Amino acid sequence: MLPSLLEGLGGVLFNLDAWDEHGGPVIDVSPPMTLTVAYDENDLAPGVNEDNLEIYRYDTLLGDWVALSLIERDTAANTITVSLDHFSEFALFAPTEIKIYLPLLLKG
């Protein structure tokens, strides 16, 4: 179940992991790196507008998703670039433009 920030949004979840030369996990990145994510617009959830795509990372201390600083959103090239200072669980999300109301009752 996704935390409340991402309910009602459509997108893709992914992890980025890194290890140092001794095999230990790298969590914090200093100085920040640039992360570019390429996507196939055909794989986006129905109703997702590319102009609204954002990349979030899950912050375990906050228990919620945090939007990363946007550098560039290129809908022609299907890429989004952000500043990355932490390895974690990530999500490429945007608000959906489709609303579904359930349950639907039909009376015959």
Structure token pair of residue 42? 């055909």
Helix (H) or strand (E) holding 56: strand 54-59
Structure token pair of residue 90? 């990530």
β-bridge partners, 25: 19
> Model confidence over 58-83: pLDDT tens digits?
888 888 888 889 999 999 999 999 99
Question: Which residue range forms the structural domain that includes residue 80?
Answer: 4-95
Q: Give yes or no for a contact between 59 and 66, defined as CB atoms under 8 angstroms apart.
A: yes
Structure token pair of residue 63? 């228990």
What does pTM read for this prediction? 0.68
Higher-confidence residue of 7 and 55: namely 55
Structure token pair of residue 91? 């999500």
Query: Residue 98: what are its φ and ψ, rounded to 5°?
Result: -105, 130
Q: How many domains are there within the chain?
A: 1
CATH number at residue 44: 2.60.40
